[in-house]
């Protein structure tokens, strides 16, 4: 199983924190592909064994793409695209479970997910007022690259969190082409984190937030499976913030311009989490995994907010072809397969390690979203400060924390 290289030096400067590690020049457990530090680079520690990149793309077949829009003083937004089975295979439904911790938000397609226990095609995440565009953009991409799958109808999954503090959310800056580009440029490599894609204008615990991801390896019956979590973090109040069990809300209470922003209620914003695993699960078991996101978020301090849309989706990419009588490789001819589908699944009494993996990866994904960030100023001069990594590293290194 992959091991994280130990941190040998943490250098603190006004430009941020750089983690220098033993071994390869780029350690994906310590830095994003663009060189931003991740949570482990500042001394945060997490249980469980991560995958090779400690990211949702460690799950075989998963691809993630971004389109980031930063223009002038007002535009701070974008789109994130996730392909559970990759760009080449969107027609094969995946077992899916949905959970809403608090419903002040939107994720399209959940009525069909609740009805069928499946979803089909890619997932897009963006800002609140662009969720309809994201839905239409998925259809546009499918029609362009997989027209054989759009003859009847599609029920895409598009989700949102609110970026109106930093972004001109009513300016219609996200369009269908934005969505199509995010979907088409998705790759299997380690995704960037922080202020990219749909997470560009987001805030978390009144610090600069955005995208975070993590993964865990779980062994069952001689096979090692991967559980990946990706989230768009835009939730929490500063006084709640807790990392690695260390309450930080009071010590890091200063420099909080969002505290004075009265247009939106404190704690507003939302969080969307996508869990993907290659372990075989029933849809009802996927729902169980989606609920466990709640516990991972709670480890970072949040108690939830009435003004937050906290909506989670979990999918299993196992059991390829099992949820349709049509062969996804021969959709043009609508060739049918055997009359009965068959599912392999992890027994219920063996699900706990997978639930734990979701909790662990969710907690780390939130921390990564916070750490892989810098200050951002946006709409009307609103400023969102980055979590001060040097101060966090100092707090974590205190003898009483050892």
- Sheet-wide strand order for 75-83: 63-71, 75-83, 123-127, 157-161
Asked if 202 contacts 210 with a C-beta cutoff of 8 angstroms, the reply is yes
Question: CA–CA separation, 18 vs 204, rounded Å?
Answer: 22
CA atoms of 158 and 124, how far apart (whole Å): 5
Cα 1 from Cα 80, distance rounded (Å) = 29
240 secondary structure, DSSP code: G
Q: Give me the residues paired with residue 68 across strands.
A: 78
Interatomic CA distance for residues 159 and 126, integer angstroms? 6
Active site annotation includes 310: yes
Q: Give CA 46 to chain center in angstroms.
A: 18
Active-site hit among 27, 278, 310, 316 = 310
307 is catalytic: no
User: Are 261 and 165 contacting, i.e. CB atoms less than 8 angstroms apart?
Assistant: yes
Q: Of the listed 195, 215, 308, 316, which one is catalytic? A: 308
d(CA 99, CA 88): 28
Q: Establish whether 100 is a catalytic residue.
A: no
Question: From the candidates 270, 305, 316, 384, which is the catalytic residue?
Answer: 270
Question: Two tokens at 367?
Answer: 């921390």
Q: Which amino acids are annotated catalytic?
A: 270, 308, 310
């Amino acid at each position: 199983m992959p091991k994280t290289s130990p941190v040998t030096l943490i250098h603190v400067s006004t430009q941020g924190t750089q983690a220098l590690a033993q071994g390869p020049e780029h350690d994906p457990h310590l830095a994003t592909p663009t060189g931003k530090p991740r949570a482990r680079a500042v001394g945060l520690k997490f249980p469980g064994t991560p995958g090779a990149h400690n990211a949702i793309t460690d799950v075989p077949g998963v691809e993630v793409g971004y389109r980031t829009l930063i223009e002038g003083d007002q535009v701070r937004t974008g789109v994130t695209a996730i392909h559970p089975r990759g760009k080449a295979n969107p027609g094969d439904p995946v077992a899916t479970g949905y959970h809403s911790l608090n419903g002040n938000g939107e994720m399209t397609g959940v009525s069909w997910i609740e009805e069928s226990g499946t979803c089909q095609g890619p997932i897009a995440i963006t800002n609140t007022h662009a969720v309809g565009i994201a839905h239409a953009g998925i259809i546009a991409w499918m029609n362009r690259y997989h027209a054989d799958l759009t003859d009847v109808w599609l029920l895409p999954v598009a989700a949102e969190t609110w970026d109106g503090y930093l972004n001109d959310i009513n300016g219609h800056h996200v369009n269908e082409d934005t969505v199509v580009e995010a979907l088409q440029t998705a790759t299997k490599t380690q995704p960037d984190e922080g202020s990219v894609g749909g997470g560009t204008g987001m805030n978390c615990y009144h610090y600069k937030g955005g995208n975070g991801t993590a993964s865990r390896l779980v062994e069952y019956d001689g096979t090692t499976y991967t559980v990946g979590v990706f989230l768009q973090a835009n939730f929490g109040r500063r006084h709640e913030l807790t990392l690695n069990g260390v309450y930080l809300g009071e010590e890091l209470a200063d420099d909080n311009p969002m505290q004075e922003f009265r247009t939106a209620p404190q704690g507003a914003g939302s969080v969307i989490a996508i869990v993907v695993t290659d372990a075989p699960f029933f849809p009802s078991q996927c729902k169980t995994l989606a609920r466990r996101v709640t516990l991972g978020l709670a480890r970072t301090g949040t108690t939830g907010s009435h003004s937050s849309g906290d909506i989670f989706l979990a999918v299993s990419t196992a059991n390829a072809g099992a949820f349709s009588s049509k062969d996804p490789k021969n959709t043009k001819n609508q060739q049918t397969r055997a009359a009965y589908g068959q599912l392999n699944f992890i027994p219920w009494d063996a699900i706990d390690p997978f639930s734990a993996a979701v909790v662990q990866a969710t907690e780390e994904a939130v921390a990564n979203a916070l750490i892989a960030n810098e200050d951002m100023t946006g709409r009307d001069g609103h400023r969102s400060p980055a979590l001060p990594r040097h101060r966090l590293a100092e707090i974590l290194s205190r003898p009483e924390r050892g």
